[in-house]
Amino acid sequence: MKKNVFLLSAVFFFCTGQAQNRFEVLVERPNEKSLVGLLSKKVLSSDTSFSWYAENHKAYQPHAQGLATLKNYRDSIQLLAFMGTWCEDSQFIIPRFFALTEQAGIDSSRLVLFGVNRKKETWGNLAKTLGIALVPTLLVFRNGKEIGRVIEYGKFGQFDRELGEIIQQSFGGPH
C-alpha cells in the first residue's frame, strides 16, 4: 500500500509539474490516431483529428449533486483519468469530465490524464499497476490514497453522479 501511495504521489508531482505534454502518437489502425502518455485538455481540444472533443464538451450538463460535491471538496482530492483516444466511450466521457472539473473549479494541478493504446497500456506499466482494464477509468484520490473509481459510464450511467458519491462517502456525507 505504501508503494502505491508513493507511486501515485510521484505521478501527480511529475505530471502536474511538467509544462509540456509527454505523449507519443500511434497509428494502431488505418486512419486512427492514438495518443499514449500524458495528455491534456489542450491537446485533445486543439487536434483536428479529435472533433468529438468540442462536440461532447459543449453538450454536457452535469449531475447537480455530483457537481456540488466536487465543488465542495475540490481542494481535497486529486483525479487521475485513463482514456483511449480511439475509444468511443472515452470520446464521450472525457470531454464531459473536463467540463465537470472546469465547472467545479478544480485546479489543473489536481488532474492528470493518461492516454492508453488498444491494449490498455501506457508508460511505465502505470495502467497495469493500477488495474486499468477498461477505459475511460476515473480514479479519485484523497491524501495520496485511492478512494474510488468510476469505470466507463459507472454503475448509474452517470459518471459525475458516481464521482460525487465516492467523494461524499470518503468524507462522511454532505459537506
Give the CATH number, domain containing residue 117. 3.40.30.10
Nearest to 96 by CA among 63, 121, 73: 63
Cis peptide upstream of residue 136 (ω within 30 degrees of 0): yes
Q: Give the pTM.
A: 0.88
pLDDT in tens, 120-165: 999 889 999 999 999 999 999 999 999 999 999 999 899 999 999 9
Full domain range(s) for residue 166: 2-171
**C-alpha cell of 92?**
464521450
Q: How many domains does the chain contain in total?
A: 1
- For 41-61, write each residue's pLDDT tens digit: 999 999 999 999 999 999 899
Tell me what pLDDT residue 39 has: 96
DSSP letters spanning 45-114: HH-GGGTHHHHHHHT----HHHHHHHHHHTTT-EEEEEE-TT-HHHHHHHHHHHHHHHHHT--GGGEEEE
**How does residue 4 score in pLDDT terms, banded at 50, 70 and 90?**
low
pLDDT in tens, 138-149: 999 999 999 999
